[in-house]
Structure 1
């Protein structure tokens, strides 16, 4: 059990490190626009104070975080040139971790998505 917990903690640290690298790398001019767009969406989702599916919903609340975030990071890494990724990985390891940025734009988009879904459901039920 302790080994499994240690493995999960290691994976969480890796995701956090990859998010830091992604935060540095997405602004690089050598990164193609489609990789920047995906990286921006992934970072926005990661740092948004509001989840797409709230965590209080059993299973689904955490399942979206466990699938969406690693998938976005993995695809972003594949789209960013490897030399750029390696360069910013070294840079992220050399700089101390900063406070978690918050994306209010992403929060606004998610709130808008929920309001739109509620409006659609209300009109559909009428």
Structure 2
């Protein structure tokens, strides 16, 4: 019986270490400055953007697959940081979206981002900065 407890404790400690490593990776990859706060505020528009991009058949299949994996992660009730924790709970979602958007834009270009963005021009500028692109100047 002692062996079973040692195995269970070892598994629990291993899972805890993996969780801490993932949290550290998210902290390292997070957008700098107030960009993360802005991304959390834009999360509903970002979710619509991910959905639209995932259904766009002009994008490469691998890119759409990556977007579907992201949508699945966002739909899961279990997150790295629980959503009931104010601001931080949604930060892991915003960071995951930022990382995937960077990969999608590298593979597909900025046209798809602009074509599918459901929000305002200011929101698009925030998303462009989140994806590591320069913000566009508003056209008058």
Q: Which has the larger radius of gyration?
A: 2
For normalisation by structure 2, the TM-score amounts to 0.45
For normalisation by structure 1, the TM-score amounts to 0.49
Bigger relative contact order, structure 1 or 2, given CA contacts below 8 A and separation 6+?
A: 1
